[in-house]
Copies of this chain bind each other. A is one copy, B any other.
Amino acid sequence: MNTQPKTLLQKENNFSEWYGEVLKRAEILDVRYPVKGVYVWYPYGYKLRNLIYTILRSLMDKEHKETLFPLLIPKEELMKEREHIKGFEEEVFWVTKGGSTELDIPLALRPTSETAIYPVFKVWIRSHRDLPLRIYQVVNTFRYETKHTRPLIRLREITSFKEAHTAHADRADAEEQVKKAVALYKKFFDELAIPYVITRRPDWDKFPGAEYSIAFDTLMPDGKTMQIATIHLLGESFARTFDIKYEDKDGSLKHVNQTCYGISERCVAAVISVHGDEHGLVLPPEVAPIQVVIVPIVYSSEGKNGEVEKVCLAMYEELKKAGIRAFFDNSEDRPGAKYYRWEMKGVPLRIEVGPRDIRNNRCEFVRRDDFSRMQVPLGDVVSEVKGTLNEIQNGIAKRARETFFANIYKTGGDEEMEELSTKAAHGIVSIFLCESERCGQEVEEHLGVNVLGEALYGDGNENGEGKCMICSRKAKRVYVARAY
């Protein structure tokens, strides 16, 4: 039996408004801070953020060590790598004063930490025995965004930038690391039930200072893609700039080969946007701050501390003992108000317990993902909760994947521009496009899209060669979409 409540918020047709309302009503972020592009994490939002980052950290910790580097970067260090600074100089916040004193050297708030970390790599790395070196940190970084800012997505203070930096003896090992990072990020987003395409960004859109960049993009409800992770092969460029060398086994001095890769709180934005529905958040149980909420259905004649409360409390204790993040809502609000609140906050499972249930030695489960109900014997609650949370996790992932792949359109090659443009307004389009920037720009202009890049890594679209839809030269499959 489904008892889906009335629709509260429009999602598909007005994603922007939906997003703002959900962040507010589910208490993820407060946007009322008096500086553009920076926001306040509510406790509930921060708990969600922490659970997501706990997964990320545990994946990272297997082969990386966590460190922490300073926020402030001296101007001269930031300016050293020419390509790099060209990419960032218009986005850097500058500290120029301490107290009433003008600083001798302006200090940048890190937009990303290559130029803070690599001067230290220079002194940490001496010998081939120090390699590979793999570190990461989770830090706040800053961008002076002049475009329209948006919570979790386009920020002036990125509060939760997980950036990894690695150094290797040779290019082969660095390229191997790129593959490992891709595998790690796949695992991460799979746990969040977030679908993605992986592409090699076109040369004109790679990370400033990198040889090439690989990116993960997911699809937002408004049909635009959002970049949720990037991985860069830096090669020797930074090693030459910052003079990072090691003594090889034969005694010769060689530059290290580097990679770096990052994920920001856009991963939280993705979880919210991809899974949410007209009633608010729909959180995968893996990352839900509250996995199960117990709602007593008490009639005023019974009052508090009756049989229902006792059963609920025992159930709550039992669930907690089993390692489940449960919450017993014994507030004074009416059941309807409680349903609304916990649905908005995306709690995967609600358990209702009323006097009639207790007489029949049962309770009622209501799933957040599809609002289906089932009756469960009181003695089976823990095992049934575990099973149901598992089903919900899988159900959410399946639905997200289906929606995602239904919105990837693969061209046959003979479509009109207009047709492709319409397709690209709702999702991702896979076309044949050569590597030249000119053809890329032409496609971007004509279709009103961004070129995401060459399709990689086994979704079936990376195969096949064809003719560039602009110049007809030999070309590979490339994804295009309107991008955030």
Contact = CB atoms under 8 A, between A and B. Distances in A.
Interface of A: 30, 32-35, 38-43, 46-47, 50, 65-74, 77, 89-101, 106-107, 109, 116, 119-120, 123-124, 135, 140, 144, 146, 156-157, 159
A473 to B, nearest CB: 38
Contact of A47 (B66, B93, B146, B159): B66
Nearest to A41: B68
Contacts of A35: 70, 72-74, 107
Nearest to A105: B35
Contacts of A95: 93-96, 109
A70 B33 contact: yes
Most buried by B among A46, A65, A68, A74: A68
A77 B96 CA distance: 20
Given A34-B74, A71-B140, A72-B35, A93 B100 contact: no
Given A91-B99, A97-B94, A70 B157 contact: yes
Contacts of A96: 94-97
B43 A66 contact: yes
Contacts of A98: 91-94, 144
24 contacts: A33-B70, A33-B116, A33-B119, A34-B77, A35-B73, A38-B70, A39-B70, A40-B67, A40-B70, A40-B120, A41-B67, A43-B66, A46-B65, A46-B66, A46-B67, A46-B68, A72-B156, A89-B100, A92-B99, A94-B95, A94-B96, A95-B96, A96-B97, A99-B146
A407 to B, nearest CB: 33
A66 B46 CA distance: 7
Contact of A43 (B41, B67, B93, B119): B67
A93 B109 CA distance: 11
Nearest to A64: B43
A452 B67 CA distance: 35
B159 A68 contact: yes
Contacts of A77: 34
Contacts of A99: 89-92, 144, 146
A156 B71 CA distance: 11
A368 B365 CA distance: 54
B34 A119 contact: yes
Contacts of A32: 120, 123
Most buried by B among A43, A47, A156: A43
Contact of A69 (B40, B90, B144): B40
Most buried by B among A39, A94, A96: A94
Nearest to A155: B70
A119 B46 CA distance: 19
A478 to B, nearest CB: 31
Nearest to A123: B32
A164 to B, nearest CB: 13
Contacts of A90: 99-100
Contacts of A123: 30, 32
A106 B106 CA distance: 15
B38 A72 contact: yes
A135 B47 CA distance: 13
Contacts of A70: 33, 35, 38-40, 157
A385 to B, nearest CB: 23
Contacts of A140: 71, 140
Contact of A65 (B30, B43, B71): B43
A47 B68 CA distance: 10
A100 B106 CA distance: 12
Given A32-B120, A43-B65, A46-B67, 9 more contacts: A30-B123, A33-B116, A39-B70, A41-B67, A43-B66, A71-B140, A90-B100, A92-B98, A99-B144
Contacts of A50: 66
